[in-house]
Structure 1
Amino acid sequence: MQEILGLYPSWYVPTIGSAWVMGIIGTIHVLASHTSVGASWLFALLETKAVRENKPELMEYIKKYGVFLLVFSYIIGSITGPGIWYAITVASPKGVGGLIHNFVWVWAAEWVYFTVEVIGVYALVYLIGKIDPRTHLKLTWVFALASWATMLLIVGILSFMMWLGNENWYQTGSTLDAFFNLNFFAHLGLRTAFMFAIAGAVGGILAATMKNETVRTDITRFLAKMGLAGVFLGMIMWMWYVQTLPENAKIIMQTQLPGYIAPTLFAVLAATIIYFAWSAWKPLQLKQGFAVAMTAVIAIAGLWPEERSRESIRKPYVAGQYIYSNQTISRDVPGKQIESNLPLIAEKGVLATHPFVPETLRTITATNRLQAGEFVAKVMCANCHSMEASGLRPMVKKLQGSTDVEQIKAYLGGALYHGLIPYMPRIPLPEMERQLVAEYLASLSKHTMTLSQTQTHASNTLVMKGD
């Protein structure tokens, strides 16, 4: 019986790629979820202050923020959460399967804490003023701890997706070896810091509406301190986080990310520090529109590039540095009885072993060579690279527009190195399939060149007619 790769159909999204679909949904979800977790700690700390200093007027703000949270975080989060599951399941089913087989009980525990969190936020909002303050404070702390527990459990899974940092899990297959990886604590600290900063920024939107100037001043300064603590803690955690990354991720971060990302993130960091410092100094001058704008800046110019960068530096892997983003298994994992797909691909190729190859491409002819090359290229590359001239890491630009088939073929035959460190491992395609992919990629470059020449000619024609 012929050996078949355990692969699923490939989900190809033109131009933006499946990664951007996941990234857009994920960024919205992270904004909602981190605001929720950060706000839960804001509520606990602020309510502790209200009880200790006998300031029941602070509870009005907590109730207002809580109602906002129910709409902003728990409705948007409840929509985007399943959206992430849908997107990642169709984009990388093998990756999701690997995560579920490792962390099914961790996810089950996370859902228990999430249930406590959802019940807690409703109880917190609707029981203000209806039960005694100290009992309500205990309820608020339960809500805060349950919220942070959901983050803690998810971070263990996300950090495993980056890498393990040691060989233990590959040999044992233990969930604990997978969960407590090298990247875990730094990643948890980084996300905890961000939750404080974003909760402080979002909180300013509601603080600006408080009519009592004393309460407004008190709360705005509290939010500013919380936000600044999050920013400075985040800088420390980021330095630690970088040290826990694999070498290939560091190389991608230094050499392959778009040049605008680092300056943009530094600008957002500086603006956030100035914003919180200013709101602490002049709390009554904080306007709701300005707070909304600052939150949007943090989300669009801060969170989106950061999440995109984290996803990019993990490539070409999707989990544990043993599953590539294209679903193939890149190494043996004895602890899970998993064997690498690469020897089978090297021996027989994708067209002979992929279960979803069209029957018309099982046999290569003079008329279907480009279609066969396109199929292999999209299966092996399109999860990370756009096949169009624009979009996410377009292959045409990676190849610098080359139309030389032999040159492209040689490029595909080796790993990409920076110094002595490979940041993009070699995919061992058979000679014939490398030839087919090279011909297809060369045709893309030719098409792009022709299209560009046509557009230039049309533009020059319009200019001449204008003259």
Structure 2
Amino acid sequence: MNFPIWELHWAGGGLLIALIAVFHVYIAHFAVGGGLFLVLTEHLGYRRNSPAILDYTKRHTKFFLLVTMVLGGITGVGIWFIISLVAPAATSQLIHTFVFAWAIEWVFFLGEIVALFIYFYTFGKMGARNHLTIGWIYFFFGWMSLFMINGIIGFMLTPGDWLTTRDFWDGFFNPTFWPSLAFRTFIALILAGLYGFVTATWEKDPQTRESLVRYCATWLLAPFAFLLLSGWWYVSVLPENAQAMVLGANPEIAPYLQGFLWISAVLFAGGLLMAVRMPAAIKRPMALVLLVIGLLYMGCFETVREAGRRPYLIHGYMYSNAILAGTEDAISAEGYLQTSGWHRNREITPENARDAGREIFRGQCAACHSIGGPLHDIKRLSAHYGTVGLEAQIAGMGKIYSYMPRFAGTAQERKALAAYIVHDLVGDPEVTQQTRPRPELDLEIPAFDAQDDEYVLLAWCTLGEKCISDSDSRFSMLPPGSTLMAQLIRRGPLPELVTEDVEVTFTAPAGFENPSNHVEFWKYAPSLVGKELAPNVSAKGLGMSGVMTPNDQNLTFLADGIPVLPYMDDGTVNPYPVFTIEAKDKASGEILATTKVVAPISTEIGCKNCHGGTWRHEGAMGISVTTASDVLARHDRRHKTELLPQAEAGKPVLCQSCHPDPLLKAEGDPALLNLPAAIHGFHANYLSGAPDAEPCHTCHPTGPDSYTYCARGTHASKGLTCVNCHGTLEDHALSLLKAEKDAGKPKADLLMRHLKPRLVASVEEIEPRKPWNDQPDCLSCHVDFEPPQDAEPSAFNQWVRGPEGLYRMRTDDAGLMCESCHGSTHAEYPAVNAFHPDLDAIQPLQYQGHPGPIGSRDNCAVCHTEDMFYEFHHLNILGER
């Protein structure tokens, strides 16, 4: 925040630091282990009285001097140069915290240089005892240099008590100081053997060569057990979050950890192989190969160690983008551009938004991400996002997965950053939102003669909009299966609900008879639901037409599991097919009553907004294979599953096979979060903070630009949104997660950590609930069945404990289901449908000529053949409009 940023574009994201640092550290560790190698090898030559070993030691000293002093010195200066440009704030902090330690380290380094030059230039010219003493002095200075650097480097990973005391010694002798020092010492000894192979294999005398190569192999092999033990010690003292990061919490790091373990085995095997007698022509290239492998070994270790700090440069103190921990909220409140002096744009306007986004990227993203380069290429990582999806991704950074810092800035700045990345870097053109034209639907209202007709047949879909996932070759979370209910009323002075001696049928509209032609659910049914299914038959055994099952308990007829889809055989997309419902006398077959009802069905689930791809069908709805594959790939990456390879092998899964879900009565794995809690809890961390119901529109077909536009009821026409009943996304998610937390599921805590309720003051005030069974109570707003008294009514946090008490399952005092007279959830009478204004009002129009609730406006005569003067069904019914 207090330094300008050096833009590296292709080479950004720390690439130059990584390249220089790994090479330098590889040489620096050789400088430590190699110093001991020199003095002990010289001592071996004297002990064996071997001029050949002494000659080899002198030659190796020259190689050692050139590598450590020249290459090591150049790369050491290179590190200071590059970190001061790429990470100036962290560099400044290290200098100011450890200026005394740096001074001591530089004294030790000067001592190394002097001692090594004396050691090399006096080889064979100084007495053996004195020369060995110079060698030991060099090793002491070299190891003490490691000692000092180890304290400073370890501080960045585990600052320990320094975070509170700011004490030099607390920072230097930090929690990982001693295990790190032991680990680095043993790896330095191993590298001494690796470098020794390079010079030993060029020894001309075969016998001496084999002897020296085996001697070098001992240096490689002997410390390995101690290296692994000290590595275990090192990892065990890390803080929990850093330990998790090192062990693979960040999927990008897992390959480097695996690489370190595999290369350990390769180097050990290489050391054994080098000890076997072979011609020099084979061993020389092998030595070079092992040296390169050793460089990769060091690279893997340093990458894993660096990963342990994420999302920090100095753990718990300074983030990788130089923002100090604990200042994020203040920066977000004031604005990132306002809090730094290194930006041209202080405020965002339509004219400067993209340029402001570029400045925000440079300040908050460029430290880790390159532009088109090999390291965390932002273009590759963002290629499948649109601005909506990327903005959500930015909003969720650092909440669930802590290897990236949280974004610090306003919602406007977040939007500008997303637009810059998507349009300027990735190169996606700006697209104006276009609503696909809807087909013009014909609608016939069935006849009803109030004088002569004996029966009234009411029917409804139990869900205001049934959504299904049509990504069956990859996964299914909402398989086909809609539910229609009906009640048959015999009209009279005291109307009667009839269930005996009658048969109620449902018939699909023309063009909707063959859903199996449009999705792959039936092809993959054995994998998804565990059994073969006949075409156009649901998992519950229903086809597109059939007989409804009577239920004497609630005096209804039920068709549960109609496999209707929003796709017609002629290619039309129509989410509102109209079914014909008929009641017949069982004995005579006479039709007693006929009505029609919409079975709302949509595949407009907005996964594509964040997971790439396009709508699967006609640019209007459906989850494409590209989108579904990305969903599975991310699930596999985060949760160590193999869902995508399994699906590609022809065995997709039903999400509820693992995640419990009351909707499908799926028990799943009781240890896992139920599916609604998992989905809403996870995505709330990415979509939080947006106004009103905007996050809901991202996934559900509820927004003003939706093709389906499922919010058709009187609540929607009065301006109410999802939030009035379910709360904001954060509130909704917290109510589900809190119930799972109470059930002892620790993952709920992780998803709740960064969620703050918006309709109540604290999480403690959230009433936990089970999905589908515990829903908002209508009477919390409609007290005594009156219109709401509040200008902004809210039913959030006042749950009906279901399923018996739910609106879709509740009856009035006469046994009529609430939905039979008031319409389906989200399509309450009077409802207005974007495909045809009367689609959801067929029965009110059929029986009373206006779209209000059945019986409203003094229309008791729909069922009662005598005037009604008292409120029988529920309070205030005579006043309903």
TM bucket (normalised to shorter chain) is 0.7 to 0.9
Alpha-carbon deviation of 1:82?
Answer: 0.9
Aligned amino acid, residue 432 of structure 1? Q
The match for 2:374 among 379, 384, 391 is 391
Structure 2 vs 1, CA of residues 448 and 43 (structure 1 numbering), >3 Å: closer, same or farther? farther
- Given that 1:193 and 1:233 are in contact with CA atoms closer than 8 Å, whether structure 2 keeps it comes out as yes
Structure 2 vs 1, CA of residues 42 and 415 (structure 1 numbering), >3 Å: closer, same or farther? same
Structure 2 vs 1, CA of residues 278 and 13 (structure 1 numbering), >3 Å: closer, same or farther? same
Equivalent-residue separation in structure 2 for 1:53 and 1:37 (angstroms): 25
The match for 2:272 among 262, 273, 277 is 277
Residue 340 of structure 2: aligned partner: 354
Equivalent-residue separation in structure 1 for 2:302 and 2:424 (angstroms): 30
Equivalent-residue separation in structure 2 for 1:9 and 1:160 (angstroms): 25
Residue 460 of structure 1: aligned partner: none
The match for 1:373 among 357, 370, 383 is 357
Partner deviation per Cα, 1:127-184 (whole Å, 9 max, x = no partner)? 12212111111111111111111111111111111122x3x21232211100111111
Query: Is 1:447 aligned with 2:430?
Result: no
Question: SS state of the match for residue 352, structure 1?
Answer: coil
Structure 2 vs 1, CA of residues 129 and 283 (structure 1 numbering), >3 Å: closer, same or farther? farther
- Given that 1:396 and 1:402 are in contact with CA atoms closer than 8 Å, whether structure 2 keeps it comes out as no
Aligned amino acid, residue 120 of structure 2? V
Please say which structure displays the higher CA radius of gyration: 2
The match for 1:98 among 87, 93, 98 is 93
Query: Is 1:412 aligned with 2:394?
Result: yes
Partner deviation per Cα, 1:372-427 (whole Å, 9 max, x = no partner)? 11211221111012344x5322345555621042x433333345455xx7443423
Alpha-carbon deviation of 1:105?
Answer: 1.0
Residue 201 of structure 1: aligned partner: 194
Equivalent-residue separation in structure 2 for 1:365 and 1:213 (angstroms): 76
Equivalent-residue separation in structure 2 for 1:29 and 1:385 (angstroms): 23
Query: RMSD of aligned C-alpha atoms?
Result: 2.6
Q: How many residues align?
A: 429
Question: SS state of the match for residue 318, structure 1?
Answer: strand
Equivalent-residue separation in structure 2 for 1:325 and 1:370 (angstroms): 23
Aligned amino acid, residue 100 of structure 1? I
Structure 2 vs 1, CA of residues 291 and 116 (structure 1 numbering), >3 Å: closer, same or farther? same
Aligned amino acid, residue 386 of structure 1? S
Question: SS state of the match for residue 73, structure 1?
Answer: helix
Aligned amino acid, residue 171 of structure 1? T
Alpha-carbon deviation of 1:315?
Answer: 2.2
Equivalent-residue separation in structure 2 for 1:152 and 1:283 (angstroms): 39
Equivalent-residue separation in structure 1 for 2:320 and 2:253 (angstroms): 20
- Given that 1:33 and 1:77 are in contact with CA atoms closer than 8 Å, whether structure 2 keeps it comes out as yes
Alpha-carbon deviation of 1:10?
Answer: 1.0
Alpha-carbon deviation of 1:239?
Answer: 1.7
The match for 2:385 among 392, 402, 416 is 402
Question: SS state of the match for residue 408, structure 2?
Answer: coil
Equivalent-residue separation in structure 2 for 1:397 and 1:289 (angstroms): 37
Residue 418 of structure 2: aligned partner: 438
Alpha-carbon deviation of 1:430?
Answer: 1.9
**How do residues 221-232 of structure 1 correspond to structure 2 at under 5 angstroms?**
221-232=214-225
Partner deviation per Cα, 1:68-90 (whole Å, 9 max, x = no partner)? 11212211111111110010000
Partner deviation per Cα, 1:238-284 (whole Å, 9 max, x = no partner)? 22222233333334341332554344333322221112112223276
Alpha-carbon deviation of 1:195?
Answer: 1.2
Equivalent-residue separation in structure 1 for 2:113 and 2:72 (angstroms): 11
Equivalent-residue separation in structure 1 for 2:277 and 2:146 (angstroms): 33
Unaligned runs of 5+ in 2: 431-612, 614-881
Question: SS state of the match for residue 312, structure 1?
Answer: helix
Question: SS state of the match for residue 116, structure 2?
Answer: helix
Equivalent-residue separation in structure 2 for 1:384 and 1:149 (angstroms): 32
Structure 2 vs 1, CA of residues 153 and 133 (structure 1 numbering), >3 Å: closer, same or farther? same
- Given that 1:401 and 1:445 are in contact with CA atoms closer than 8 Å, whether structure 2 keeps it comes out as no
Query: Is 1:294 aligned with 2:263?
Result: no
Equivalent-residue separation in structure 1 for 2:315 and 2:426 (angstroms): 37
Structure 1 consecutive aligned stretches of length 4 or more whose deviation exceeds 6 Å: none
Structure 2 vs 1, CA of residues 226 and 313 (structure 1 numbering), >3 Å: closer, same or farther? same
The match for 1:177 among 165, 170, 188 is 170
- Given that 1:250 and 1:313 are in contact with CA atoms closer than 8 Å, whether structure 2 keeps it comes out as yes
- Given that 2:348 and 2:413 are in contact with CA atoms closer than 8 Å, whether structure 1 keeps it comes out as no
Residue 409 of structure 2: aligned partner: 429
Structure 2 vs 1, CA of residues 23 and 423 (structure 1 numbering), >3 Å: closer, same or farther? closer
Partner deviation per Cα, 1:411-448 (whole Å, 9 max, x = no partner)? 33345455xx7443423322221222232233257626
Alpha-carbon deviation of 1:44?
Answer: 2.0
Equivalent-residue separation in structure 2 for 1:134 and 1:226 (angstroms): 23
Question: SS state of the match for residue 267, structure 1?
Answer: helix
- Given that 2:382 and 2:426 are in contact with CA atoms closer than 8 Å, whether structure 1 keeps it comes out as no
Residue 128 of structure 1: aligned partner: 123
Aligned amino acid, residue 325 of structure 1? S
Equivalent-residue separation in structure 2 for 1:349 and 1:70 (angstroms): 53
- Given that 1:99 and 1:319 are in contact with CA atoms closer than 8 Å, whether structure 2 keeps it comes out as no
Query: Is 1:188 aligned with 2:181?
Result: yes
Alpha-carbon deviation of 1:25?
Answer: 0.8
The match for 2:114 among 101, 104, 119 is 119
Q: Which moves more between the two structures, 209-218 or 178-187? A: 209-218
Partner deviation per Cα, 1:18-66 (whole Å, 9 max, x = no partner)? 4011110111211222222111010122223333444444221111011
Alpha-carbon deviation of 1:312?
Answer: 3.2
Partner deviation per Cα, 1:195-222 (whole Å, 9 max, x = no partner)? 1122111111111122334433332222
**How do residues 211-226 of structure 1 correspond to structure 2 at under 5 angstroms?**
211-226=204-219
Alpha-carbon deviation of 1:356?
Answer: 1.2
Equivalent-residue separation in structure 1 for 2:237 and 2:405 (angstroms): 20
- Given that 1:113 and 1:146 are in contact with CA atoms closer than 8 Å, whether structure 2 keeps it comes out as yes
Question: SS state of the match for residue 402, structure 1?
Answer: coil
Q: Which moves more between the two structures, 196-205 or 421-430? A: 421-430
Alpha-carbon deviation of 1:67?
Answer: 0.5
- The sequence identity of aligned pairs, in percent, is 28
Structure 2 vs 1, CA of residues 277 and 75 (structure 1 numbering), >3 Å: closer, same or farther? same
- Given that 1:17 and 1:385 are in contact with CA atoms closer than 8 Å, whether structure 2 keeps it comes out as yes
Structure with higher strand content: 2
Equivalent-residue separation in structure 2 for 1:229 and 1:449 (angstroms): 60
Residue 7 of structure 2: aligned partner: 12
Q: Which moves more between the two structures, 223-232 or 211-220? A: 211-220
Structure 2 vs 1, CA of residues 411 and 218 (structure 1 numbering), >3 Å: closer, same or farther? same
Equivalent-residue separation in structure 1 for 2:356 and 2:368 (angstroms): 19
- Given that 2:198 and 2:287 are in contact with CA atoms closer than 8 Å, whether structure 1 keeps it comes out as yes
Aligned amino acid, residue 33 of structure 1? A
Equivalent-residue separation in structure 2 for 1:380 and 1:329 (angstroms): 12
